């Protein structure tokens, strides 16, 4: 459904855009309806940039992004607006996603203004309460409140509810639970699972491997802007082939192991080289399992 084909992104930085920084290198991924695809990587690996490009908050330098086979690059405001009917996003910081001086339920009101100006107030209120119950929030306790009166988990769920007011096909979830405390995390995560059941495609961007394992069928591991390993979650996590993936997996703290037991020595990795050359190609090592060739 959503498809990224050989997507590159480079930013101009410095005075008058004299230098370039390549954030995403030749990334090709696709999401099917009813599927959660996790993009995992360290800070600066380009995973957030991918989310921003899908949401058209930043432009694509090379390559193309297709939705149902059509290029999504919007020309003009009307096309962009129509695109956001189908693709929506939720961001990392729930408190930054709300304008602090307005009430939190204003996010629903702006959706009505933009997309459903003809809907009557009573009918709209019913719809909002409906989607709020859909994300298991009590409308009475979250409506008519300021963002600082609500918890991070409530705010993130309201953002998901906002996306559900539109008839979306793809949801970009950029680190949506990394700023929540542990007890509310699992609720939001389970909510993503329910969206999957409804037939939505979810692009789940995270740095946390265990979350990726919990929620997604397929996973893409990124490093220095390029994909190093991709495939079915079970295969990648049980049999990581790329040294970076192995390091990542080894660095996840586990319940039955203590620091005093000794830490595994991480494998040596190639340093960040020239980002403008194409990254090593992916080769299929197993069914539904691709790994970047060692340089």
Give the separation between CA 248 and CA 269, rounded to whole angstroms. 12
- 76 vs 253 by CB, closer to other proteins: 76
Nearer to other proteins (CB atom), residue 180 or residue 292: 180
CB of 181 to other proteins, least distance (A): 19
CB 132 within 8 A of CB 161: yes
Nearer to other proteins, 114 or 133 (CB): 114
Cα gap 236→221, rounded to integer Å: 9
In angstroms, give the least distance from the CB of 283 to other proteins: 37
Q: Which is nearer to other proteins, 146 or 214 (CB)?
A: 146
Describe the crossing of helices 121-134 and 152-165 by its angle, rounded to 10 degrees: 120
CB of 285 to other proteins, least distance (A): 38
CA–CA distance, 117 with 145 (Å, rounded to integer)? 23
- The H-or-E segment that residue 78 falls in is helix 77-86
Whether 169 contacts 86, CB under 8 Å: yes
Query: CB-wise, 166 or 269, nearer to other proteins?
Result: 166
Q: Which is nearer to other proteins, 6 or 95 (CB)?
A: 95
Least distance to other proteins, CB of residue 127, Å: 16
CB 73 → other proteins: shortest distance, Å? 15
**What is the binding site for other proteins (CB under 8 A)?**
12, 16-17, 55, 57, 77, 80-81, 84, 88-89, 91-93, 96-102, 107, 110-111, 114-115, 146, 159
Cβ atoms of residues 119 and 108 within 8 Å: no
In angstroms, give the least distance from the CB of 237 to other proteins: 30
CB contact set of 293 (below 8 Å; sequence gap of 6+): 280, 281, 282, 283
Query: How far apart, in Å, are the Cα atoms of 186 and each of 122, 151, 164, 177, 279?
Result: 33, 15, 19, 9, 35
């Amino acid at each position: 459904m959503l498809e990224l084909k050989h997507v590159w992104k480079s930013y101009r930085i410095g005075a008058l855009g004299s230098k370039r920084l390549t954030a995403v290198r030749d990334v090709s991924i696709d999401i099917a309806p009813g599927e959660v695809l996790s993009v995992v990587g360290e800070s600066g690996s380009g995973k957030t940039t991918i989310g921003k490009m899908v949401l058209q908050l930043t432009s694509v330098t090379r390559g193309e992004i297709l939705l149902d086979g059509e290029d999504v690059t919007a020309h003009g405001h009307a096309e962009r607006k129509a695109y956001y009917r189908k693709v929506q996003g939720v961001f990392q910081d729930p408190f930054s996603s709300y304008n602090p001086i307005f009430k939190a339920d204003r996010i629903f009101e702006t959706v009505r203004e933009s997309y459903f100006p003809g809907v009557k107030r009573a009918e709209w209120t019913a719809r909002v309460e409906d989607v709020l119950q859909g994300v298991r929030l009590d409308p009475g306790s979250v409506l008519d409140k300021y963002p600082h009166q609500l918890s991070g988990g409530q705010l993130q769920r309201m953002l998901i509810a906002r996306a559900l007011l539109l008839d979306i096909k793809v949801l970009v979830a950029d680190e949506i639970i990394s700023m929540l405390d542990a007890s509310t995390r699992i609720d939001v995560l389970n909510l993503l699972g329910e969206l999957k059941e409804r037939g939505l495609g979810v692009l789940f961007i995270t740095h946390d491997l265990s979350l990726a394992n919990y929620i997604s069928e397929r996973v893409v591991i990124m490093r220095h802007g390029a994909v190093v390993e991709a495939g079915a979650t079970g295969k990648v996590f049980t049999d990581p082939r790329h040294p970076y993936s192995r390091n990542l997996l080894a660095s996840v703290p586990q319940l039955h192991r203590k620091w005093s037991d000794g830490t595994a020595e991480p494998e040596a990795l190639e340093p960040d080289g020239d980002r403008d050359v194409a990254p090593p190609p992916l080769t299929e090592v197993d069914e539904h399992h691709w790994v970047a060739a060692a340089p």
